[in-house]
Structure 1
Amino acid sequence: MGRMGVLKLLCAIGFLAVLASNVWTISRWSESRGVYDDICYLRQAHLFQKYGLDGFNTDITRDDDRFLSGKLKEISFPDWNDPAKMPCHVWNAKTNKRALQYPPGTGFALALFPSGFQVVPLYILASVVAVGFSLIALTYASTFYRLMLVAAFGDAAIYLMINPTKASYSVAPTMMVCALAGFLTAKLFTDGLRQRFFRLALIGLLIGISVNLRLPNLFLAAGYCLYLGGAFLWTRNRETFLQGVAFGVALLIGMVPTLIANTINAGNPLSTTYGGVDVVPPELNPGILWRYFVDVQFILLGIAAIWTGLLWRFNRARAGRIAVLVATNLAVNLIFFMTHPIFTPYYIIPIDMLSLWTLLFATLDLRGERAADRAAFPEPANA
């Protein structure tokens, strides 16, 4: 085993050590930490486990076994026995229902695990997936500096499965989707035409599935849609048109569970089950902007933006299209979340991680541009 082999082995051991630390921490988590969102996601999971696919119907009147009211009573919610005041449920006049506001994906993911032991295995699975993609990245690292890049990114990505991902159960499964979508996106323009159609369809399906976890994940598709639309307007050929169709149709198919849930609970597949502050018009709020600026989310966003610029500067011939796609996606998501009237510590984590996984694998895949590689990631003298 050469020097690089030894270093890769040490990095792999480091990833597993961080994973072990995560598992130890996560295994001590409680599913009753007093957060309304947690209880409501667990209610969706309970409905799926109790009714099967009929669990899409989240009408508050279906709390006949007192699951939701019992959970609220445990945390001393003052109106735990009043259906009209229960959190996370919005009244819809069209359907005459007070239904759960969240899309069904997170609840479905939790429902895959035994009741009472759902959050811990979901987060452990997300951590294992992060380790898996970090180990895959190790196999692509062909230089010392790329290896150090993988080591730093992999450890950070695994750690992020706890903070800030813990803030919402919807983020853990989203992170798994982002890792896979980023891996596929990085290789999007190195494939042949037929493989590109398949890859775009798979990416579209993954992002569509992620919408079932968090509705704002729809904006993860923005860069792809704008890039494919721009490519068609530029080339006006059949291939680019069909690529856009493949992505769009697959995206729509992935979103079908949410469209079904919207139809049942809001009366229309395109009607939202959200209400209140989540549906107010966008605005620029200096307080919100400052909270993002001092949060770890903005640090990750800044790293992604700088990395995109470096990829464009040093490897435009091989990775220019990836850089444009990532930059467009970052810009659209940044505009949306920075003008949203509320802040949480995880809102832009999905676009951060989708972009960073894409950039990592795109950088590692640039094996043919040796001169540009040495300019961007020079080797130490003794490597």
Structure 2
Amino acid sequence: MKAVKILFSIVFLAILTSNVRLISHWTESRGVYDDICYLRQAHLFQRFGWQGLDTSLAREDDGYLASKLRSINFENWKDGTKAPCHTQTADGSKWVMTPPPGTGFVLALFPEGFQAIPLYALANMIIAGFALYGLWRARHPGALALAASFGAVSIYFMINPAKASYSIAPTMVVCALAGLLTARLFDDEDRPRLLMLALVGALLGLSASFRIANVLLSAGYFLFFGVSFLVRRDQKTFMQGLSLGLGFLVGILPVLAANMVNSGHPLVSAYGGQDTQAPSLDLAVLRAYLGDTQFPVILLLCLWTALLWRFSSQFCVRRLALLVAGNLALNLAFFATHPVFTQYYTLPIVMLTLWTALFATIFSREMQGMQADGPQPSEMLSRVPI
């Protein structure tokens, strides 16, 4: 198995190298409207620090937005009110940006004019690190095969379709870490692990700072722990739900703060238009998702989750499978009924599910191996009465 791990480590690094080489030739003036807004948010953070949360056009006194719009040949580049992803507040007092602040914040960590390339290169390296960790952690042929195949897929997705939006790069990193911690939560339910559960909640909340739609990534978690409390009615499940909720609240604070600054209320977002329309079934949208390259991966994830629930001998893994299935179903149902199709919309839930299922498989196989081997000497010693 070591030879196989070395081989696929080389494959992962080869894909990573290819990705970074492609990224190094990217330009920040590629004509994508959302890019302008993320870069303007980064510019505001670099100029004003945390006060960059205020995205009012009244602060556009250095011509940054106009110059960016002009660089992509935007027709009304002189008129900020015509700029993409900017909208007028409900009271008509100012024009603000619609995206949340997280993507702009991570872009602001890099020098202006050279922000997208290092962000994607770093995110690719981190994802490759998770893939390598899963590969070398796998100790059984089945788990190794899954780690090898899906590890390669996860690195490839960091270019296509992740390149479609700057918000996807940091989202993918959060999904990988949240998936790892979620799997770890359920590998031994004898321990409450409230701090780890709060950290998972914080990561899910933080993901909404990159894309508002990422708030849906937490839907299955709240459904699972909410139903668990209604069924069991005990202190343990109450504390688990409370920890998750408090962590989520901490993670989503940047979004609430940005809403307060720009819209005047923490729960009022600047988003509008198609993003806030009521769900509806559109055959064209459904066909687009069915024909997308992610659809076979989604089918495999559904099958994988079902197999985890059906054949796992560990009750905690079966509970994890229920959480994953509920989260996947809720997210896919939302985007299938969304009024528009965009290739990267379902990528966050796909990757969160992938990492969770992968690490759950690896950890459960480890536990089965330990149980088959019998108690270790250290465990036997701990049972000796003193």
In the TM superposition, 1:1-383 aligns within 5 A as 4-94=1-91, 96-191=93-188, 196-315=193-312, 317-318=314-315, 319-367=317-365, 368-369=367-368
Give the RMSD, CA atoms, in angstroms.
Answer: 1.7
For residues 64 and 313 of structure 2, the distance between their equivalents in structure 1, rounded to whole angstroms, comes to 55
| Deviation (angstroms), 1:11 | 1.5
Q: SS in structure 1 opposite 2:158?
A: coil
Cα displacement string for residues 80-123 of structure 1 (whole angstroms, at most 9, x for unaligned residues): 11122111101113361110000000000100011011001111
For residues 8 and 202 of structure 1, the distance between their equivalents in structure 2, rounded to whole angstroms, comes to 30
Contact 1:297–1:346 (CA under 8 A) maintained in structure 2: no
| Deviation (angstroms), 1:76 | 1.3
| Deviation (angstroms), 1:35 | 0.8
| Residue type at the aligned position of 2:251 | G
For residues 188 and 323 of structure 1, the distance between their equivalents in structure 2, rounded to whole angstroms, comes to 12
| Residue type at the aligned position of 1:125 | L
Q: SS in structure 1 opposite 2:364?
A: coil
| Residue type at the aligned position of 1:274 | Y
Alignment gaps of 5+ in structure 1: 374-383
Cα displacement string for residues 331-366 of structure 1 (whole angstroms, at most 9, x for unaligned residues): 110111111101101001000000010000111112
| Deviation (angstroms), 1:192 | 5.3
For residues 177 and 88 of structure 1, the distance between their equivalents in structure 2, rounded to whole angstroms, comes to 24
| Residue type at the aligned position of 1:189 | F
Cα displacement string for residues 8-50 of structure 1 (whole angstroms, at most 9, x for unaligned residues): 1122121111111111111111111011101111000000001
Q: SS in structure 2 opposite 1:366?
A: helix
| Residue type at the aligned position of 1:329 | N
| Residue type at the aligned position of 2:222 | C
Contact 1:91–1:97 (CA under 8 A) maintained in structure 2: yes
Contact 2:187–2:364 (CA under 8 A) maintained in structure 1: no
| Deviation (angstroms), 1:238 | 0.6
Q: Number of matched residues?
A: 370
For residues 275 and 225 of structure 1, the distance between their equivalents in structure 2, rounded to whole angstroms, comes to 26
Q: SS in structure 1 opposite 2:314?
A: helix
For residues 193 and 301 of structure 2, the distance between their equivalents in structure 1, rounded to whole angstroms, comes to 24
Match of 2:380 in 1: none
**% of aligned pairs identical?**
52
Contact 2:185–2:193 (CA under 8 A) maintained in structure 1: yes
Contact 1:179–1:353 (CA under 8 A) maintained in structure 2: yes
For residues 176 and 138 of structure 1, the distance between their equivalents in structure 2, rounded to whole angstroms, comes to 17
Scaled by the length of structure 1, the TM-score of the pair is: 0.93
Which moved further from structure 2: 90-99 or 111-120?
Answer: 90-99
Scaled by the length of structure 2, the TM-score of the pair is: 0.93
For residues 133 and 24 of structure 1, the distance between their equivalents in structure 2, rounded to whole angstroms, comes to 20
For residues 153 and 334 of structure 1, the distance between their equivalents in structure 2, rounded to whole angstroms, comes to 20
For residues 301 and 144 of structure 1, the distance between their equivalents in structure 2, rounded to whole angstroms, comes to 23
| Residue type at the aligned position of 2:45 | F
Q: SS in structure 1 opposite 2:73?
A: coil
Alignment gaps of 5+ in structure 2: 373-386
Contact 2:220–2:324 (CA under 8 A) maintained in structure 1: yes
Q: SS in structure 2 opposite 1:133?
A: helix
For residues 120 and 195 of structure 1, the distance between their equivalents in structure 2, rounded to whole angstroms, comes to 41
Q: SS in structure 2 opposite 1:229?
A: helix
| Deviation (angstroms), 1:194 | 5.0
Which moved further from structure 2: 315-324 or 273-282?
Answer: 315-324
| Deviation (angstroms), 1:193 | 5.3
For residues 248 and 364 of structure 2, the distance between their equivalents in structure 1, rounded to whole angstroms, comes to 28
Cα displacement string for residues 200-250 of structure 1 (whole angstroms, at most 9, x for unaligned residues): 101000011101000111110011101000110111001110110000011
Q: SS in structure 1 opposite 2:202?
A: helix
